[in-house]
Amino acid sequence: MRSFVYVALLLVSLTNAAPGPAKPCVHKVKEDIPSPIGWVKGGPAPSDATIELRIALPQPNFAELERHLYEVSDPFHERYGQHLSQAEVEALVTPHPESIHTVNEWLASHGLYEDDLARSPAKDWVRVKVPVSLAEEMMDTKYYVWVNEKDGNTIIRTTKYSVPENVHGHVDLIQPTTLFSTLRGMDTTFRISEASPEAGASLATAPPINIPSASGGKVDASCNSTITITCIQQLYNAVGFKPSGKNGNHIGITGYLEQFANFEDLQSFFADQRPDALNSTFEVIPINGGLNNQTLDEAGAEANLDTQFAFGLTFPIPRTFYTTGGSPPFIPDAGTPTNSNEPYTDWLDFILNHPNPPQTISTSYADDEQTVPVSFAERVCNGFAQLGARGVSLTFSSGDGGVGDGDPNPATQQCFSNDGRNVTRFIPLFPPACPFVTAVGGTIHVPETAVDFSGGGFSNVFTRPSYQNAAVTKFLDKLPKGTYAGLFNPAGRAIPDVAAQADLFKIFLSGIPISIGGTSAAAPTFASIISLLNDARLSAGKPSLGFLNPLLYALQATSPKAFNDITVGNNPGCGTPGFNATEGWDAITGLGTPNFGVLKELVLKNFEL
C-alpha cells in the first residue's frame, strides 16, 4: 500500500513538473522615436542582410568614474594629474554580473553563444553579427531601408525596438536601430589659391601687424590672407619653442569616411612651411578595415588639412593617423550587404583598449546632435570620459553651420526639431556637445574676429557642467531678454569651449597648394598647442593635461591672459544672426584663442603666476 501511494504521489509530481506550452516572451519597448526628418522610409530590409548589433550593458559605477575624472582634472584639487590606469577605468565601468548573465541567457535563447560574441575589455559592450531576420525576432521589431533626402544614401534602421522584460533593465541600448545620423567632416571652404606672385610679394613686404599677445608682439601681414605654420606660431605666442619628441609625448588625428592622408602632399607641405620636418612621416593605424590609399587623386582635403597642420605644428612629436573604415550608408544590392554603426564608435572601441593612447587626439567629424539617440550620445560621451580619466585630451570641431546644423549653406539648413514637433530650433553638434571633450570654434584674420560659420550654442541633451557655470551665466545674463527664446536650451552644455584660426589655411592637396577652412582647421590647431604644452610638462616630469575643460575655465577666471578674448563677430544660422562674440565666454569662440607662452608658464608653475 505504501509503495502504491509513493508511486502515485511521484506520478502526480512528475505530471505537475512536466513542461507545458512555452510561455510567450513579453517584450518591453526600449526606444521609440518619431520618423526622422530628412529620411524617407523605403521597403523592408532584406531579411538575410547582416548587421552587427552593439549591445550596451549598464555601467553602475560610472558616477564614481566621473568623480575621479573631475578630481584629476581640477587644477586646484590635490589629485590633479593623477590619471587612472586602463585597468582602473575598466573596473569602474564593468557591468554587474547579473547583467552579464541575463544578457548571455537572452542571446543564448536565440542560438548566440560566447564564440559568436565580441566583448569590450570591461564587458560593458557586446557585439554580435546577425541577419536582419534574427535581429527583428530578438527585438520584436521591423527593419526598413531608409533613404536620405539630401544625398540619396540608404541605411537599415527601425524607429522602435523592444527587449524581453527580464532583460530590459540590463541593457542600456542596442544599435544600429534608431541612429539616423550622417557623420561628416567639418571643412566648409575649399578653393584653389588665387593670390598672384605680385600680391604675395606685396604682402610679404607689408609691415607686420601689432598684436600684444603674439610672439614678439607682431604677426606677419600675410597672415590676413594665408594661414601658415609661422602664422599660428606668431599669433599664439609659440615661436621658438622646440618640443623634445623623445619624452613619451604623442599626438593623434582621426580619419573617417575614406579620407586619406597623403604622404607626398605632406612632404610638399613640409618643404613649403616646415623644412626641418622634411622626410619625416607619421604612423598609420587602420581600424575596422580602414585604408590610407596613396594615389594623389585619392588624397582627402579633410585628412590632409588635419595631418599637415597638426603634425607640422608639433614636429618632432611622434604622431599617428587613425583611419577607421566603415560608414553608415547601406546599399541593398551590394555584394556584401553589411550595415555598420557610426564608425567613430569603432575607433572608440580601439582606443579604449589601447594601453598607451596619445595624450592629445583631434577629431574634425560630427553629427547633428538631434540625429543621435540620447542613450547612444550619453554612452559614447561616457567613453570619452574614460579616456579623459586616463590623461587623454580630446578636441572636436564645433561645427561649420553657425547656430544651425552642420550644413554651411544657410539656404539649405534644416533647423527643425527632430522630436515629432518640427519646431524651429538651433542645432548643436555631437560629439562637441559632450561635456567630456573640448569643442573648438573658429576665428579669422589678424587681429582675430569670430568666423561667421563657427558652430556654437547649447546642447539639448547634456546639461551645463559645473565648470562652465560662472562663465556661461555671465554670457546669458548679457543677452537681451527674450533673445531667441525657445530656440535654444540655456541650461544645456555650452559650445564651444575655445577657438583657433579656422580659414584661409594653406595646405597641399593632390600636389597642388590650396586654401581651405572650417572648424576642422581650428580643432587640430588647438590640439597642437595642447600637445606642445604636454611636451613641456612631460619634459619637466609632470603628467599630461588630460581632460582639459575644468582647467581651461579655471584659467580664464584666474589668468585671463592665457586666452586671447575675441569680441567681434557672430555665427548666423536658422534664419537668425546667431550669437555675438563678446567679452569673456561666448557661444561662437568660447573662452577665446590660446596664448601658448602664458599657458606654458602656468602649466609648469602649477597654475600660479
Active site residues: 302, 306, 520
* CA geometry: angle 493, 519, 340, nearest 5 deg: 75
What values do phi and psi take at 255, rounded to 5?
Answer: -135, 140
Q: How many Å apart are CA 508 and CA 48, to the nearest integer? A: 44
Grid cell listed for 456: 556654437
Q: How many Å apart are CA 490 and CA 454, to the nearest integer? A: 19
Report whether the peptide linkage leading into residue 164 is cis, meaning its omega lies within 30 degrees of zero.
no
Q: How many Å apart are CA 430 and CA 366, to the nearest integer? A: 6
Which secondary structure element, helix H or strand E, spans residue 90, and what is its range?
Answer: helix 86-93
Binding residue per annotation — 81? no
Alpha helix positions (H), 435-479: 469-478
Binding residue per annotation — 419? no
Q: How many Å apart are CA 314 and CA 552, to the nearest integer? A: 21
Q: Which residue has the cell 539616423?
A: 180
Alpha helix positions (H), 319-443: 343-352, 374-389
In sequence order, the 6+-apart residues with CB closer than 8 A to the CB of 518 are 185, 186, 187, 188, 189, 305, 364, 397, 400, 408, 442, 453, 502, 503
In sequence order, the 6+-apart residues with CB closer than 8 A to the CB of 212 are none
- Identify whether the C-beta of residue 218 lies closer than 8 Å to the C-beta of residue 447: no
Binding residue per annotation — 565? yes
* Residue closest to 457 by CA, chosen among 491, 503, 420, 481: 491
Which secondary structure element, helix H or strand E, spans residue 98, and what is its range?
Answer: helix 97-108
- Identify whether the C-beta of residue 73 lies closer than 8 Å to the C-beta of residue 551: yes
* Residue closest to 606 by CA, chosen among 526, 525, 545: 545
Binding residue per annotation — 566? yes
Q: Which residue has the cell 593617423?
A: 321
Annotated binding site for Ca(2+): 565-566, 584, 586
Annotated binding site: 565-566, 584, 586
